[in-house]
Structure 1
Amino acid sequence: MENPLDRAALDAAMEAVHHAGMPGLFAEVRDGDQVWRGAAGVADVATNCPVTADMRHRVGSVTKTFTAAAVLQQAETGRIGLDTPIGRYLPKLVPGERGAAITVRMLLNHTSGLAEYLPYAYPSLKAYPALADTGPQSLDDHRLTRFDPTELIEMGVTAPAVGTPGGTLGVYSNTNYLLLAHLLEQATGTTAEQYITRNVIERAGLRATGFPAGPDVDGPHSQLYEAWFGMIDPPRDYSVYDMSWVGPSASLISTVSDLNRFYRMLLSGNIVSPSSLAQMRRTVRVISQEGTTIDYGLGLHPMEGPGQGTFWGHGGTVWGGGTLAMTRADGKRQMAMAVNMQRWNRLDSSSRPQPHPIDDALAALLRVAMYG
């Protein structure tokens, strides 16, 4: 079980990802009291400014763990019931039979059957994730668009259902977490962002984590290069972007050190109670946005290592950026990593992503970081 940090191996694995084609990446790995922070490559391909391990980064759906923790806190007070129908709280947003059938828990673990709104908000991504007919045009069209979350929710609720509420196989959907943000607002009398900031981010003692005030990332950060499956060549920078298209579902900005601290605090029972944490770790089978099947809890998902026990955490992507944060169940081994390019795999004639050297290099880095 004990695999102390091999700093040379971690440095080499980081460099290998960069040499495989990733412009820049950075990470923090912890094993007990030992801490390694590393970075490889550049934050800006035009200036060759290097990435550093303390940079702030858009962490995408890692945000969902923060939002889920906030909902669990409110469940502990009795203001939200995990098995209460969402229609009882938000009848206008999820009306009728569906509102009566979909519970708060189903939103948290993506078994609501509600569709993803993204292909409707970004029309040229209509086939996402089938991708055959997609183009990146809407990414540029919506750089500074201020989306109304209730309109995004309506797109997901009125779209054809992707499953029956509480079904045995869920489908990952940002619509679920935008609804949870509205639920938090109703339960707390403040915005979801303000509540999460006060009761999750500040409670965890995170100093460099927050929701964006505008389209820019404050503080030292990398550019974010979107390749859109080779259709944007060379990859284009999307670091300046209005994140209202995901809101409290995926808009947080953080650092790898803060993410490790957050998951350490969460998994040791300092953010939600031990019984709430047990609820968060109850998993169901869910189809991810990449089309693979994963186990998913309430804003958390597990990764199993060879003889290393279970790691818990979340991954996230935004246009141009990716993040993964994983903490072993005992809290001793932790890894948080950020990359500054997304969707580097070109598509074959059947619209399936083709293998890329980055894939193997990243997998090797994850093995060294998580399992030693």
Structure 2
Amino acid sequence: MAPSTIAVDFRHKSNLMRSDWFGTAISNSGFMHSLLCTAALHRYMVGKGDINAIYFHKAKAIVAINLAISDPDQRLGISDANIGAVFNLLSVEESLRSPVFEQRQDEEHPNQREIHLNGLREMVQLRGGLTAINSNRILQAFILWHSTAHAIASFEAPYLSTIDYISTASFPHHPPGYQPNISNHLLDYCRKAQIKETLTTLVESALVLIADLNVWFGDPESPLDPLDIQNFSCVLECLLLQWLRKNENLISPLEDALCVALLIFTVRTTEAFQSRSSIHHLHFIASKRLEKALNATSRGEWAFCPELLLWILAIGAISAEGSDESSWFVYQASLACSEFGILSAEALLGRLHLCGWVSFKLDEAVCDLWERIVNLRLEDRKFRPISSFAYT
């Protein structure tokens, strides 16, 4: 499992799991037992292990964590290893809530997830925030990724304040001499549509991420650091969620749609590879909000920025697949393609690339989307009631 921990690192170039993660376990029993607990959980989930091994290592880890917290040397209680052990147990408790373990819930301690989550929050705060956990980059990243994923899934603020980390990592760390080659087409559209400057700044950050991803996926000798890219994507996702919360009553439907589409796009281009049939549950709440925002816009608002509309609809359609919103996005994408004279997947891709695109992760999905559009047109027109947004 370790080589695929950093989702964008598909060539497995990073050795942080070996050096920082497993290296910590060698010298700390609490962390080691928490790690063995996650391994036992994985083995049980794939039908190869005994469930009792999970609870055995979980109990051993909790004893060691509490001993470290009660030690006169207070640094042990908030060390990398002890924070990492609590984080591992938090992840285990979340997995134990799945239907697979429905009959084996811990009735004596039903609030274990909340206990570990509150403990993690307090330990990180005592440590000095997420930024202060810089002696173990992979632990720091795991907490950031986990907190961000929960925020996106619920469309709420991250459970752990990441503002201190975001303030120092809002841009990726580029090696000397490297300059991201961003496209200005999307920025031009933002100016024409009078998008708020604060959101336009986030659009520019997304374009930097897109440029980095294209270099990283396309060049085996890329000097970029996959962990930096993964962290930057999470930071950008947190900033986009924060922008939506801060401007809830001040933004236009078009700005709402653009921000949500950027969030979905960032997650989709940096998440772990999935099979074509996989359903992207993490996007479902965002997809509902995107549909609502688009329905509040009018046809005329998109007349001067057709590629932006196509870009947003394509992202929505790709990531809503398997959800209740999927057919709506495909239908709207079909109408928009007809409106703008797009007759093939290649022509659609050409328009999408103008706004910033990650071919390695999304081109195949666009070809699949085009097949769905063609199939939709061949079927009898038994669509849901057409909204005011539809091109009619």
Could you tell me the TM-score, scaled by structure 2's length?
0.25
Q: Which has the higher contact order (CA 8 A, sep 6+)?
A: 1
Task: Point out the structure with the larger strand share.
Answer: 1
Larger-Rg structure: 2
More helix by share: 2
